[in-house]
Structure 1
């Protein structure tokens, strides 16, 4: 079996797990080669359960949605089917493996001709692509047993309903530019129809005589979107934007006082290697710590590494056995001059606070450093309970071969039948929790550190075991672990504790309003915080148009300072760039500037750069569809940004011996 065939079968298995049951639909998905319907550069992504970009600013639909729509349309072997929005031709190809005949209309001539060629090459002779306005249907071939529309309409076009056979089914996304629902219409007789709402979706607009016009107006009724059209969207953004002063100006942090009554404030970043994002979050953090009593700084970093920083800034005893933190890839993400400046400030700030409970702490939420966590648990038990340490070494022995490169554990557990270590690591975590009263009295901070490391090991074991299955499961496990760690911190610090979270926009923006949630069933910390804390959580995103970024071009690669491509013309970032302001805060809170919020609730591309940046494939690698006004409560913009400065071996000169970044 070829690599693409294996991936295709894995994709279909994932679609079945999500609830698609029709055997003919699943079998058709197994035989149609999706890699043939995307560009060569996109072929490696063909079997991700996600929409992918094609020409003319269109997308090839997410495989799950293709399968779900065909299943909802109840396509049978004897059916004549109309598809509106051929795109790449992929959905028509899948339908052709089920139905007697499929006609597919595409308004973009270049897309239609490419789709025709693909179907001819695959010898799918019962599928025909037609260039035209799909909102009018195809009356010369009507009636149709099923009609499937792959674009969002403002209303259900009457022309399509009228071309249904009696008993025919129409499946179509319907809604305005903010929300769409997948609807199913069944023609019961000559004049009556039954409509069923299925699920929330996000599709490109259905352009045509009975859909949307190119300018965003409703072509079907000549009803314009709203009076806000009289003013350009960038001009509306410029009017609402609040200029940001210099980072050291007290007024910078004061602009965020509007969120200071929240229990959790989440500060994002559009990349992991941009200095302005770090400096802005540091300025906001300093203000919230000094003026509003925030004592938890929880970051997208590994717990044992962050614990070394916490010992320094809270003046706790250092762990002489621990290596300097943040040594593994990507070291520059936290080992940089911007973080050093913040840790020095926190160290000085905390020195003026007598009670340990009142000092601001620095904590890691992430899951990766399993080796460091095992060492921390054993070191703690060696000090408080040597017999328990002996038992723990036996339990963790299962993971010993994999500690330096735990990803290999997942590969071995999956493909070579190695015994899983889950039972042992969970037993160890439970043992520590059972001993809470006995151990915590000796040193509550040390106990919290040990327990959280034990939790990390248990989560990491599951994470590395499932990561080779792909899909959303490993992402969801990681973000669930991070959110639960935040919950444990808030619980440990008391009912009045307040937290600041530093993480990527992909983690802190509400996943339900991006393709992460809508297309891939992924969730994240931002979604969890809104669901758990409601209005007590504030989600603040960050973005940029161009500049430089510190990143690698592959995992475990060397850090490079890369030039960031100017943002795409169809992205949120371009809207902010076009407003003409270089740095600002945009408050997106409900009830404020609702006309602007509505326009920023139209799905657009949003850029996400992690520790990996590949400018040459930026569209497919780093952009996803999002609804920004619902994703965030506020947005911080820097039009041009610069890369973070990583720390070198010379940085620790003159620093105290306990300084955590020492070599």
Structure 2
């Protein structure tokens, strides 16, 4: 018998079909934000259960949009498709197949195709103003967002083109290579920050006057500003870039909720290291924050539900270096005395844990190592890496468990740009 066996048995509810999610929907109640995590970026079951939860949140709770750990321009193509726009592909698969930034498999996979096809069919039955969106929260799309801004302004707001061109020309000498730009700002005390700030101020002012028509351009400008800060922080090393990125995602989520209007509700899909409250992990010792923590602080604990996902063993899609070809890797069993080891000993093969608010057992209050696999993965390092020290009951409100999981099914896309600097830490 393991130390936590009785507690695991008492908390675990078998998870076999979407009807088993009732207890989680009861916990969601009237919450405004539900964040659904993942212990890896390449596990089939994490995507399919997130989709199942999201479908019920949309159909039964009226959630307004899905926001993912992806780039705004890429996800905007998917958004136009799922909302049945005439300027977008009728099949969201075509929009997902256009993802080029490594790691493409995070969103360009068959599991997301299945979900977005469902979302488009759901939206087709609704008035255009009531359709559920699909948006990217992340910070990497510096040049892509600049390009989208120029296209938009040339058609809709030519007076603002000079400000956009000034920003574009400032970045142009770096040949769309963020590492070149970041290194230049370290070696020479010049950056494109002023040009970006001027562009952002102009688009923010216009969006405030006409939010419906200009929100996308404004958000692209916010992405450019966030990326510029992120890449400058990244080249300096250390942990500042992590906080720049998660604060950008938190601010983007808040802008989306405001844009959708009173009563708007959001589902977020991102890695556990972003979703689970950083204050309940060893991240806090490094001064790191994340979107789960920031959302609880911004909206209140009762308005935010955080759901982690994890697995004991199986297969996963990842790369062995940043920009390396994706491949299916064997993921070894959870290491001894980890959370995954405890759940493997006593939980059903797939289970849902919704944590009690009071009278918590030791499983929820002890600090346990909890699996965290990035897009760069070395299974042989399991004995000392790929885990985050976690107080489970403080990090999440619920946990989805899969004892033996399978790799996600990627769309086979060749990344166009492998010069992107590796995100801190290890691509999560």
- Per the normalisation by structure 1, the TM-score is 0.59
- Find 2:194's aligned residue among 397, 417, 423: 423
**Which residue is 1:648 aligned to?**
412
Contact 2:45 2:406 (C-alpha < 8 Å) held by counterparts: yes
1:401/1:343 CA distance change after superposition, 3 Å: farther
**Which residue is 2:25 aligned to?**
257
Contact 1:267 1:500 (C-alpha < 8 Å) held by counterparts: yes
For 2:360 and 2:391, the matched residues in 1 are separated by: 15
Contact 2:12 2:347 (C-alpha < 8 Å) held by counterparts: no
- Find 1:310's aligned residue among 73, 79, 82: 79
- Does 2:48 correspond to 1:279? yes
**Which residue is 2:390 aligned to?**
626
Contact 2:148 2:217 (C-alpha < 8 Å) held by counterparts: yes
1:439/1:626 CA distance change after superposition, 3 Å: same
**Deviations 1:515-561 (CA, angstroms, capped at 9, x unpaired):** 111x2110000001111222110010000000000000111111010
Contact 1:572 1:606 (C-alpha < 8 Å) held by counterparts: yes
Any stretches of 5+ residues in structure 2 without a counterpart?
A: 90-94, 414-428
Contact 1:548 1:562 (C-alpha < 8 Å) held by counterparts: yes
For 1:629 and 1:539, the matched residues in 2 are separated by: 10
For 1:232 and 1:465, the matched residues in 2 are separated by: 47
Deviation at 1:391, TM superposition (A): 3.0
Deviation at 1:603, TM superposition (A): 1.1
Deviation at 1:324, TM superposition (A): 5.4
Deviation at 1:252, TM superposition (A): 4.0
Partner-residue secondary structure (3-state), 1:613: coil
Name whichever structure is richer in helix by fraction. 2
- Does 2:10 correspond to 1:239? yes
For 2:363 and 2:19, the matched residues in 1 are separated by: 29
**Which residue is 1:556 aligned to?**
323
**Which residue is 2:232 aligned to?**
465
Partner-residue secondary structure (3-state), 1:261: coil
- Pick 1 or 2: higher relative contact order, CA cutoff 8 A, min separation 6: 2
- Find 1:581's aligned residue among 348, 369, 385: 348
**Deviations 1:414-433 (CA, angstroms, capped at 9, x unpaired):** 1x316201111011010011
For 1:233 and 1:468, the matched residues in 2 are separated by: 43
Any stretches of 5+ residues in structure 1 without a counterpart?
A: 1-229, 650-663
Structure 2 counterparts to residues 119-158 of structure 1, below 5 A: none
Partner-residue secondary structure (3-state), 2:410: coil
- Find 1:528's aligned residue among 281, 286, 294: 294
For 2:14 and 2:184, the matched residues in 1 are separated by: 53
- Find 2:102's aligned residue among 309, 329, 332: 329
Partner-residue secondary structure (3-state), 1:586: strand
- Find 1:447's aligned residue among 214, 225, 230: 214
**Deviations 1:622-642 (CA, angstroms, capped at 9, x unpaired):** 112111111111111000000
**Which residue is 1:374 aligned to?**
146
For 1:503 and 1:366, the matched residues in 2 are separated by: 10
**Deviations 1:271-307 (CA, angstroms, capped at 9, x unpaired):** 0000000000000011110111001101000011110
1:260/1:420 CA distance change after superposition, 3 Å: same
Deviation at 1:617, TM superposition (A): 1.6
For 2:395 and 2:19, the matched residues in 1 are separated by: 26
- Find 2:273's aligned residue among 490, 506, 530: 506
1:428/1:403 CA distance change after superposition, 3 Å: farther
Q: Which moved more, 1:519-528 or 1:383-392?
A: 383-392
Deviation at 1:361, TM superposition (A): 0.2
- Find 1:400's aligned residue among 167, 172, 185: 172
Partner-residue secondary structure (3-state), 2:328: strand
Deviation at 1:323, TM superposition (A): 10
1:403/1:618 CA distance change after superposition, 3 Å: farther
1:337/1:423 CA distance change after superposition, 3 Å: same
Partner-residue secondary structure (3-state), 1:621: coil
- Find 1:638's aligned residue among 402, 405, 409: 402
Partner-residue secondary structure (3-state), 1:404: coil
**Which residue is 1:605 aligned to?**
369
Contact 1:252 1:284 (C-alpha < 8 Å) held by counterparts: no
1:252/1:303 CA distance change after superposition, 3 Å: farther
For 1:531 and 1:331, the matched residues in 2 are separated by: 32
Deviation at 1:595, TM superposition (A): 4.3
Contact 1:546 1:640 (C-alpha < 8 Å) held by counterparts: yes
For 2:36 and 2:96, the matched residues in 1 are separated by: 28
Contact 2:335 2:341 (C-alpha < 8 Å) held by counterparts: yes
**Which residue is 2:306 aligned to?**
539
For 2:383 and 2:147, the matched residues in 1 are separated by: 41
**Which residue is 1:353 aligned to?**
126
Contact 1:376 1:453 (C-alpha < 8 Å) held by counterparts: yes
Deviation at 1:570, TM superposition (A): 1.7
- Per the normalisation by structure 2, the TM-score is 0.91
1:278/1:418 CA distance change after superposition, 3 Å: same
**Deviations 1:379-403 (CA, angstroms, capped at 9, x unpaired):** 1101111231133112221112336
**Which residue is 1:106 aligned to?**
none
Contact 2:8 2:347 (C-alpha < 8 Å) held by counterparts: no
Partner-residue secondary structure (3-state), 2:259: helix
Partner-residue secondary structure (3-state), 2:137: strand
